Amino acid sequence: MQRLHNQDEWVARAAQVLPAAGFGNFDPGIIVARGQGSRVWDENGKEYVDYLIGSGPMLLGHGHPEVLEAVFEQLPKGMTFFANNTKGIELGEEICNAVPCCEQIRFVTSGGEADMYAVRLARAFTGRDKILKFEGGYHGMSAEAQMSLAPNQDVNFPQAVPDSAGIPQSVADQMIIAPFNDLAALESLLAENGDVAAIIMEPLQRIIPPAPGFLQGVRALCDKHHALLIFDEIVTGFRLAYGGAQEKYGVVPDICTLGKIIGGGFPLAALGARTEIMNHFDKALAGEGWLMQLGTLSGNPVAAAAGLKTMEILRRQGAYDQLRDTGQLLQDLQSRALDAAGIPHQVCGDPTLFDLYFSATACTDYRSAQHDDSAVNAVYNAALRARGVLKSPAKLYPSLAITSDDLERTADAIDHAVASVVAM
């Protein structure tokens, strides 16, 4: 098949076979040709400092030589088996060693799949049906997850608003929606609904940090009302700390989901919990409480090999200090430039994962984490991209591949972006 070198031609070609000309993930107007280290290049040859990093998995950067070596070692031994393999078992052992709530895990292929099974597992264990989630929390593409992720109108809590067509009303009836960082509201909702199987939450919700004591309060309320606590650590796992948000914040959930980093850039995710809960996946032990779970590529040995090597590198001295230092520098670069220009903004998140809100209001939940004028954010991000900085419109992912040269280039792009906003 003839290779096209013009990005516009590729976009036109995509429009013929892909709805909205894309995979549904990111701006379909950019076609990434390749990545190496901290950089990616589009099909026109334009080079970018990459703060998108595949939406999080490429924490070491693209094409890390040690990860490639591990993958190349595995490839001739087999790419997938639909059976147990040593790399998957070794990765399971390392996850259970690292993540406080995990005594056992099950592998799946995507984070959304892991979240779906986590919800089903909580229902199986408790015998209850209702699930509580926080407005604005992202938990994949299941029917339950697509409730009040990004509602375009404010409704009274705990009403669930579907974010997608094709979801039955019966799903909404089993969902309870609460405001993030509001323990009083959460306690009231749990008192009014005695049949909640679980609370599912991102401990760092998108980029909104938990208020001091909030996660501890959620843990206590789950215990009080006999509901399970599910931490969606697809993003935060092995990013906020080696043991994820559980290690950083000192709060241990009953179930957690993991993805992105544990696959080293390959499709792999997992859910884990204590053995008593995970026994529902064991037909011999669970009986009528058995939870069927299988997947053609679950525990894929190539992905497991990449994940194992990635995690080995992350365990090395200074890895997380470097990641946090880089993130803090990126935060400071933006804040200094925006402050000097008198542009109101909030840096929201953690040094390992954050972004800006162009607002004078603190970001504490979905409704407050908004831009005063979304056009400002659009102009700012477009100007960054024009100067060779690639990021999501709502997240910036630092990586261990970022160099001093990357930071200099980013600083120049930030100055250009701030000037573009001033000129609006």
- Active-site residues, by number, are 138, 232, 260
DSSP lists the bridge partners of residue 347 as 356
List, as own/partner pairs, every contact residues 169-173 make where C-beta atoms lie below 8 angstroms and the sequence separation is at least 24, other chains included: 171/143, 171/144, 171/147, 172/147
Strands 269-273 and 104-108: antiparallel
Please count the CA atoms within 13 angstroms of the CA of 368 that sit on its side-chain side: 16
Interatomic CA distance for residues 369 and 332, integer angstroms: 20
396 and 326 Cβ atoms separated by less than 8 Å: no
356 and 371 Cβ atoms separated by less than 8 Å: no
Binning the chain into helix, strand and coil, the percentages to the nearest 5 are 40, 15, 40
Of 40, 49, 117, residue with least CA distance to 272: 117
Contacts of 265 (CB under 8 A, 6+ apart): 54, 57, 58, 62, 67, 306, 310
222 and 193 Cβ atoms separated by less than 8 Å: no
Where on the phi/psi map is residue 394: left (φ > 0), alpha (ψ -120 to 50), or beta?
alpha
Is the previous residue joined to 158 through a cis bond, with omega within 30 degrees of 0? Answer: yes
* Structural element, H or E, at residue 405: helix 404-422
177 and 135 Cβ atoms separated by less than 8 Å: yes
Using the CB atoms, write b or e for 81-97: b if 16+ within 10 Å: eeeebebbeebbebbbe
